[in-house]
Structure 1
Amino acid sequence: MAGHSKKLWLILLFSASIVRTDETVASKQSTESAPGKQDDINTNAVALFERLFQLKRNEQKDAVQRILAIKSVEKQNKLLKLVITKIMEVLVQSRINLESSGYLPGSGLPLTESLRDALSSMIENTAFMGDLVLYLPDATKAFLKDNEWNTIFKWSLSLCQETAFLSNNTKKMLHLVAQELNLIEREPGYFNPYAEANRRKPVDLPEIPQKKKVKKKISKGPSLSGTRLKSEL
């Protein structure tokens, strides 16, 4: 049991961190394969980002499900804190690298490999944090309350929303995260079933109209079939 828990923690922490070994090799290959052709380089870089981003998202979604499966609230919160701490460390470092380089939100993937890694790390970990906000809203928002984590996540969320090459599904997810955190006005149909208040709220079922019972009138006179007469004998 102890070995299983340790393995689980390592999986979750690995999912929260960003490993770029394969991406670095692929980035160099795509850049070197088309020297002088900036449009081709940008296209290859975006395609590579999308492919790796999807792989990372699959790992992150699996990690979220593992956290949700933990029955002990105390253990769940302890693990959640470790994961969020790691996410925030990556976001802080990514912010330092991007802002010091003068990168402007919405300007596409940076030309240099180091800045591409910083931007990708920021987007991936923002998406991971977004999953935690939506699937564990009460616990996660407690960690984001009145501290520097709240500030850094607002920054990364805003930058991601200005990123042009993200998929529509990712943008929709981030839009839901912004509503959950009340950073923007919630839409009329917004509803998060994972929020504690909504889990306790009874479901209002539509009333089923009851049919009125029709009393059968018993004839007082003799029956032609003799049924009433036989019953009274």
Structure 2
Amino acid sequence: MPPPVLSAYKRVAQPKVGENGYQECQCGKSEVLPAGWNGFNAKPLKSDIHIDHDVEIVMRDGVRLYADVYRPANSTEKIPAVLSWSFYGKKYSALDMLPMCVWKCCVPPSDLSGLEKFEGLDPEAWCPRGYAIVSVDTRGAGHSDGQICVMGTQDAEDGYDVVEALAQMDWCNGSVGMAANSALAISQWFIAAQQPPSLKAVAPWEGSGDLFREQFCRGGCFSTQL
């Protein structure tokens, strides 16, 4: 049977470094951003943050996904991870997106560091609390292999594999959670349904379990205004 939806293989345009948060792959690069760092002219960091860029995680079918890991610098204890899962781009922040929204969603730049993934948690707020924040480029997004998929079984299986891989990393205490809103909330339902053993909690907000009934055809009537 042919696939119900044909995938586009030809790139619309070559991505440009610096445009919409795009950066070249930085596999193997690690750095520490010091307290007070304010590289996006937004909210300064309150503590030192260690970043592992483009950490490779291999899926069960051999596809390679890439993640950025933000964690407290100089921590001697193993810590839990909180995963932000979406296809938006792991370096595409709320600072990039908010100008496109009405009144910038009433969020001033001073509330964000620019390290946060769009609709995800800000490492500036959570790393000082003893958490690692992990932002993933899902299948087909950013530098990750494969064809992009939005929600569904493939996304869920990849999420399972990433959760279990994170739990085994030398800085992790074996506990992984998920938290974020909208598309990043919806992905949590699918991944949690796979029951990865190391996923201890999810915190989805402004998400849905059925886009047809809860968004596009609420009450049975099609509308794009909801």
Same fold by TM-score greater than 0.5: no
Return the structure number with greater strand share.
2
Larger Rg: 1
